[in-house]
Amino acid sequence: MTHIMRKHLYILLLSAAITLAGSCKDDNNDPQEPQALTFNINSGNDINQIGVYATEESTFSGVRYLDNARFSKNNNIFTSTDPGTVLSDNGLMVTAYHPYTQNILPAGSDIAQVKTAIDQSNIGEYLNSDFMAGTAVIAPDSKSPVSMTVNRLFAKVNLILKPIGSDTDLSDAVVRLTLNSIADVNFTTSNVESSSTPAQIIPRGTFSVNEEGIWTGVSVITVPQDIKGDSEFISLTIGGNNRSYSLGEDLSIVSGQEYDLEVSISRTAEDIIVSIEVTESPWASGLNLDFNIDEEIEDIDSISDYDGNRYEVIKAGPQLWMASNLRTTHYNDGAPINHVPDADQWAIVENEGAYTFYNENESMSERYGLLYNWYTVKTEKLCPEGWHVPTMAEYEMLFDFAGGIDFAGEAMKSTSGWRNYRNEELPEIQGSNSSGFNGMPGGVRYADGSFSNEGRYGYWWTSSAESDFESFGVYLYYGGAAASSITENNRLGYSVRCIKYQE
């Protein structure tokens, strides 16, 4: 059954843009209720989470209607478990930033200390050093689109090595840059006010040579700063010999710019001679955000799978979740899923979807659902049409909604059925099910075909792959209040839930 409910505030991100709009009151002047926010993005990028603030005035010293709400992306839609906000009679200032960071902005302040990673050789640390922020104001009773640009506030430095007079192999060259690593960012103006804390930054990438004999492929992300021409800015190690060099002239690194540092290298019998030339150009822009109104939001009571099994639906912020484990034996296009009861056969299934009952006891499926290998998830046809298996980021959003990862397990576990290793179903190890997830301890089928942990652990696949052979799952267990993630072999049999977003 589907109902349509009226909402006052809704956020859509369109064509590389995030969009927000709202209305102050509805037509009947009824009291306002909190509204869910959704960012819908139609162009791909590496941004998976953003943080959002909403304040009544152009300052962060007053009331924060949204206080660092985390929005996570799945299927090009940013959503948050935050219960929402109401557009004030005086309008709202909305600030979005990336990457999301807990406790980034102290209470009563609009200045945040933002760090770049010291070791940027890890891709995650490198991408999370790319800080962006933007602000837009929504006027009272606004129903028109409001645009926001989320700009890059830091800069990128590319390292280019150019051997002079020789075909020197520089593939093992090691470069470090001494740069300030902390910036004071003003969230009201979306500007960097100052920088501090020098550190020797380890770049991202490895050097490779092109047809012209020039070595490229290494870069760092840095906070804006002024570099003195006589400071030893670059540390260069070639063939085990390390030297530090200055730029020779002052350089101002500013927000949103990209700098190519071409390091010309020549060797003598006694020394390595270096000269540096700097070229500045605009760095690719961040995000363009447009906020629009959409007052119709879908609310769903239940959903059926292809086999006709019916599942109650719970709401977690903008997310809609099945409230019990999937038990379909067909994909949503009607194709049958392979039932593999034999342990030896289960152990050799590769790149093919399969399901089983726990201990091959079909009567347990009503309570626990079926156990599926990850290859069923990979087909993207396991859930009912319009629904999908959650990503790891979407489970993390549910954890946030259920009180945070350290407490979500208790809120997500069912109120009965959990037993310890002495097979005791004690009251203190049951959950509260305050989230409505009703997680049951359905156990696991291991890659060798054996079964384990029924009554003690519940495991669920996500659609997020770690590699060609392993993927992410989440689990709850009898002995703790936390929810946890895990990476396991794709042949394991886990429970599955399905999710969609309010339309």
Q: How far apart are CA 419 and CA 426, in angstroms?
A: 7
| pLDDT for res 86 | 47
User: pLDDT of 82-128, one tens digit each?
Assistant: 544 445 566 778 888 988 888 899 988 999 999 999 999 987 788 88
Lowest-confidence range among 71-80, 161-170, 206-215? 71-80
- Chain centre to alpha carbon of residue 205: 22
Query: The whole model's pTM is what?
Result: 0.56
pLDDT at 145: 55
**Could you check whether the bond before residue 203 is cis, i.e. omega within 30 degrees of 0?**
no
- Which residue has better confidence, 26 or 306? 306
Instruction: Examine the pLDDT at 138 and tell me if it is beyond 50.
Output: yes
C-alpha closest to that of 497 among 447, 456, 438, 451: 438
Q: What angle do CA 79, 83, 86 make, to 5 degrees?
A: 105
Full strand arrangement of the beta sheet holding 215-222: 208-209, 215-222, 155-163, 257-267, 272-282
pLDDT level of residue 48 (50, 70, 90 thresholds): low
> How crowded is residue 329: how many other Cβ atoms within 10 Å of its Cβ?
15
Over 70: is that where the pLDDT of 81 sits?
A: no
Query: Which range has highest mean pLDDT (7-11, 147-151, 294-298, 380-384)?
Result: 380-384
> What SS3 string covers 226-290?
EECCCCEEEEEEECCEEEEEECCCCEEECCCEEEEEEEEEEECCCCEEEEEEEEEEECCCCEEEE
Residue 47's pLDDT band (boundaries 50, 70, 90)?
low
Residue 395: closest CA among 485, 325, 310: 485
The order of strands in the sheet holding 371-372 is 338-339, 354-356, 371-372
Q: In order of start, what are the domains of the chain with their CATH numbers?
A: 7-151 (2.60.40), 155-285 (2.60.40.2630), 301-501 (no CATH)
pLDDT class of 370 with cuts at 50, 70, 90 = very high
**Can you give the pLDDT at residue 300?**
65
Residue of 254 and 209 predicted with greater confidence: 254
Interval 408-447: pLDDT, tens: 999 999 999 999 999 999 999 999 998 899 999 999 999 9
Q: Are 221 and 130 in contact (CB under 8 A)?
A: yes
Buried/exposed 430-441: b ≥16 CB within 10 Å, e otherwise: bbebebebbbbb
Least confident stretch, 125-134, 340-349, 452-461 = 125-134
Q: Is the sign of the CA dihedral 327, 329, 332, 337 positive or negative?
A: positive
Dist CA 364 CA 368 (whole Å): 6
Residue 296, pLDDT above cutoff 60: no
pLDDT at 137: 79
Q: Has residue 297 got a pLDDT over 60?
A: no
Report the share of the chain in percent with pLDDT over 70.
80
Give me the residue label for tokens 């669920």: 460
